Amino acid sequence: MAKVNISNMLQTDNITMQFGGIRAVSNLSLNIKPNQIVGLIGPNGAGKTTAFNMITGVYKPTTGKITFNDHDITGLKPNKITELGIARTFQNIRLFSSMSVLENVMLSKHVRLKATPFEAILGLPRYTRTRKKHYEECMELLEQVQLADLADEKAISLPYGKQRRLEIARALATQPGMILLDEPAAGMNPQESLELMEFIAKIRDEFNLTVLMIEHHMEVVMGICEHILVLDHGETLAQGTPEEIQNNQKVIEAYLGAVDESA
Ligand SMILES: Nc1ncnc2c1ncn2[C@@H]1O[C@H](COP(=O)(O)OP(=O)(O)OP(=O)(O)O)[C@@H](O)[C@H]1O
């Protein structure tokens, strides 16, 4: 098995996910350095979401190893992986739609709350202090993602682009070192996609984040990612810089040509 390279924040060594007769991901090896923005692309059914599910603990890889910040996280439970600093968003927005914007973020940030349930029930001073700090930190986070003026609005009442941003804010509330974004630009028009790109670059810098994103909008992927990995039928077709990927004949034939036509 490959040696862990400590300059990598996330390293997957030949991870494979087998569902009965279907090999959804085959021997995926991905090395991501701190603060990089990395794109995971490929046609429908290529295995992208399955790769996310292995990294975030939804599935235990059939074989292979995943290392995050020197920890072997292979097969750990999702909540443990969140605690270690990996957060994610989903292809279909998952918010508590009838709760307010602020409540959505506060619930997510609970992962980092220091008070015990016992202190909370009795309303002990440490809990009261913790709750005040918790509220202030969540409001500050909403300021940073430009949603503070909507803090009391129900999540469902937000326009689509802002719901996406709230979902990212919920992920940020867990104080991750790395964030996995599953098709953040899905359903967005070109202007919204452009704003999203600027937003992702801004949060990467402000929150000192490493980003791994699945995306079909090629202008987003090519515009923001420093490294791209292309999956096809679970196999790694290519990896490299945006320029290398755009000029890779295998990728053009299997994927990029088709995407450009449908765009
Ligand atoms: N839980 C599961 N059980 C059985 N097969 C699965 C499971 N999850 C995914 N698959 C299969 O694995 C393959 C890869 O699916 P996956 O959702 O990872 O692809 P994807 O690249 O994310 O696709 P899309 O771009 O459409 O979201 C598909 O053939 C899919 O049907």
The per-residue DSSP string of the chain comes to -PPP-TT-SEEEEEEEEEETTEEEEEEEEEEE-TT-EEEEE-STTSSHHHHHHHHTTSS--SEEEEEETTEE-TT--HHHHHHHTEEE--SS----TTSBHHHHHHHHHGGG--S-HHHHHHT-HHHHHHHHHHHHHHHHHHHHTT-GGGTTSBGGGS-HHHHHHHHHHHHHTT--SEEEEESTTTT--HHHHHHHHHHHHHHHHHTT-EEEEE---HHHHHHH-SEEEEEETTEEEEEE-HHHHHT-HHHIIIIIHHHHHH-
CB atoms within 10 A of CB 1: 8
Domains of the chain, with CATH numbers? 1-85+182-263 (3.40.50.300), 95-175 (no CATH)
pTM for the full predicted model: 0.89
45 lines ligand 1 (CB under 6 A): yes
- Which atom belonging to ligand 1 lies closest to the Cα atom of 19? 4
19 lines ligand 1 (CB under 6 A): yes
Length of the chain: 263
pLDDT for the residue 260: 47
53 lines ligand 1 (CB under 6 A): no
Q: Whose CA is nearest to atom 31 of ligand 1?
A: 45
| Mutation probe of ligand 1 site: the residue of 17, 48, 62 with most atoms within 8 A of C-beta | 48
Q: What is the pLDDT along the chain (263 residues), one digit of tens a residue?
A: 445 455 889 999 999 999 999 999 999 999 999 999 999 999 999 999 999 999 999 999 999 999 999 899 999 999 999 999 999 998 888 888 889 999 999 988 766 565 565 655 666 666 667 778 888 999 999 999 999 999 999 999 999 889 999 999 999 999 999 999 999 999 888 888 889 999 999 999 999 999 999 999 999 999 999 999 999 999 999 999 999 999 999 999 887 765 544 44
How far apart, in whole angstroms, are the C-alpha atoms of residue 251 and residue 76? 33
How far apart, in whole angstroms, are the C-alpha atoms of residue 35 and residue 31? 12
- Complex ipTM tops 0.85: yes
Distance 256 CA to ligand 1 centre (A): 20
